[in-house]
Chains A and B, each alone.
Chain A
Amino acid sequence: MYTRAPVIVMELPEQLNHVEAKRFLDELQPLLEVDRPSVVLDCSQIKHMDSAGVEMLLYCLEQAMKRDGDLKLAAISPASAVILELMRVDRLFEVFERSEEAVRSFQIFAPATVAQTQPWYAAPYGLTDLKAAG
């Protein structure tokens, strides 16, 4: 039976600089140290973000992934999106327009609800079949 920790929604501060990022991380850290953490970070309040803020987001994502969880971003402003794109990290996060959508996405794609499928490299499209077709 698959169980998942409840989805945690946290609002990021207005200034996501070195000091604020550290303060925010201190709050978030214990919530990441559970099995399969599901975290949504609401970015609607962000007005300034620097590389320390981006680094903190990456660290949180890494921590969540280590424990088989995920971290998603919601309500990201165009300015913040530009910074994430500039620093090449935009592709690493799932981004949603609203926090509710991000929360729902954890429930929809929970592994227990997804039908078990064979890996992509298995037959009938395996190497042996391709050889036979050739």
Chain B
Amino acid sequence: MGLGAVLVIGAKSQEVARDGGHSSELPRTDSEDFLDVPLECVEVVGRSLLERMIERLIAIDVEHISVLVEAKSSAVAPSFRHSPEKVKVRVVADMAVAIEEQLAGYTQSGIGHSFITAANTYTETDLLDLFCFHREARQPVTRTFDRDGCLDLWVVDCAKAQPSELVILKKNVDQTGAPRYFIREYVNRLLHPRDVRRLAADILRRNCETGASGKQVRPGVWIDDGGEVHRRARIVAPAYVGCASKVKADALITRFSDIERNCCVDSGTVIEDSSILANTTIGICLDLCHSIASGNKLWNLQRDVAVEIVDPKVMRFTTAARKLAVHRSERIQATEEAAKPEMPQRWQIENNTIQE
């Protein structure tokens, strides 16, 4: 009997999690408005949290990995830097039904147990040990928790969980007396943009096992494929410059800052304790401190305020990303229109004899 995994992306995953235990408060709407994509799909130091979780699952020989994306949460399916063969991505309307179907499918294909996790829950626990714990407990569901409370990571027995239609995930697991697995290792719940910043700093400081992408050009400085740093720019370790990103003359990147893919930091600008998310251009002679920047949006973590910069000279999406954003907004519009309930046609009302 093999192992499977279901990774859940989107708001409904949080509902499942909240029902399944006592998850913490989830101010996701603000952050999703800010970033347009779920936090778990945001690249941090080269790879998204989703990719990092998939890497961990592949490392323990999980046979099938299903990524279920809540249709409302994002109009764009998550992209992977190296698309693994084992991973299948599905956009679903009803997450609970989709999980149920997935587990039924696993049972049919001879997979006995499966991890179910909200993709924004990143843990560095020994997943094999968790699986062994679950098998020894001989219960349909095992839930994990850490010192801050329950985590949205379960191990389920695909066959046993099926007859109860996965109600077990909707009820409070603690009350049902299901076994609980305590995680002592690194955990990041990624509920707020602040957690993105914490993850970046932890990766760069090596507080967690997962590492930065790209090549370490000098101790603590990673530069990814095609990243360019002007000889007059200064990068203070630890720091990361992503794929095809440019750091121009006299710029300063310092205090665990990460510049993600396709970014540009213009001359004389200081990036301090900040994350510049993919496809962002930062103008000349600016001071960006304790912030997360994405396109023309800036979330200052010190003041906990999100600002939209209207001046493209200050901050903007790079050209390629702008085209993508237009395409994305068209797709969102199309999704919204498709989701609208069909209104009865005029001829139907007119031909309705009861109304007449």
Contacts and interface: CB of A to CB of B under 8 A. Distances in A.
A85 B310 CA distance: 16
Interface range on chain B (Cβ under 8 Å from partner): 10 to 19
A88 B287 contact: yes
Interface range on chain A (Cβ under 8 Å from partner): 10 to 19
B288 A86 contact: yes
A78 B305 CA distance: 7
B309 A83 contact: yes
B303 A81 contact: yes
Interface of B: 285-289, 291, 298, 300, 303-307, 309-311, 313-314
B309 A85 contact: no
B310 A50 contact: yes
Interface of A: 17, 48, 50-52, 78-79, 81-83, 85-88
A51 B287 contact: no
A52 B309 CA distance: 12
A52 B314 CA distance: 11
Contacts of A82: 291, 298, 300, 303, 305, 307
Contacts of A17: 310
Contacts, number: 41
B314 A78 contact: no
Nearest to A51: B311
Given A86-B287, A86-B298, A87-B286, A48 B310 contact: yes
Contacts of B288: 86
B314 A79 contact: no
A51 B296 CA distance: 14
Given A51-B311, A51-B314, A83-B307, A78 B287 contact: no
Contacts of A85: 287, 289, 300
Given A51-B314, A82-B291, A86-B314, 19 more contacts: A48-B310, A50-B309, A50-B310, A51-B313, A78-B303, A78-B305, A79-B306, A79-B307, A81-B303, A82-B300, A82-B303, A82-B307, A85-B287, A86-B286, A86-B287, A86-B288, A86-B298, A87-B314, A88-B286
Nearest to B314: A51
B311 A78 contact: no
Contacts of B286: 86-88
B287 A79 contact: no
Contacts of B310: 17, 48, 50
Contacts of B304: 78
Contacts of B309: 50, 83, 86
Contacts of B303: 78, 81-82
Given A85-B287, A87-B286, A88-B287, A78 B313 contact: no
Given A82-B300, A88-B285, A50 B311 contact: yes
A48 B296 CA distance: 13
Contacts of A87: 286-287, 314
A127 to B, nearest CB: 35
7 contacts: A17-B310, A52-B311, A78-B303, A79-B306, A86-B298, A86-B309, A88-B287
Nearest to A18: B311
Contacts of A52: 311
Contacts of B285: 88
Nearest to B313: A51
Given A50-B311, A51-B311, A79 B289 contact: no
Nearest to B289: A85
B305 A79 contact: yes
Contacts of B314: 50-51, 86-87
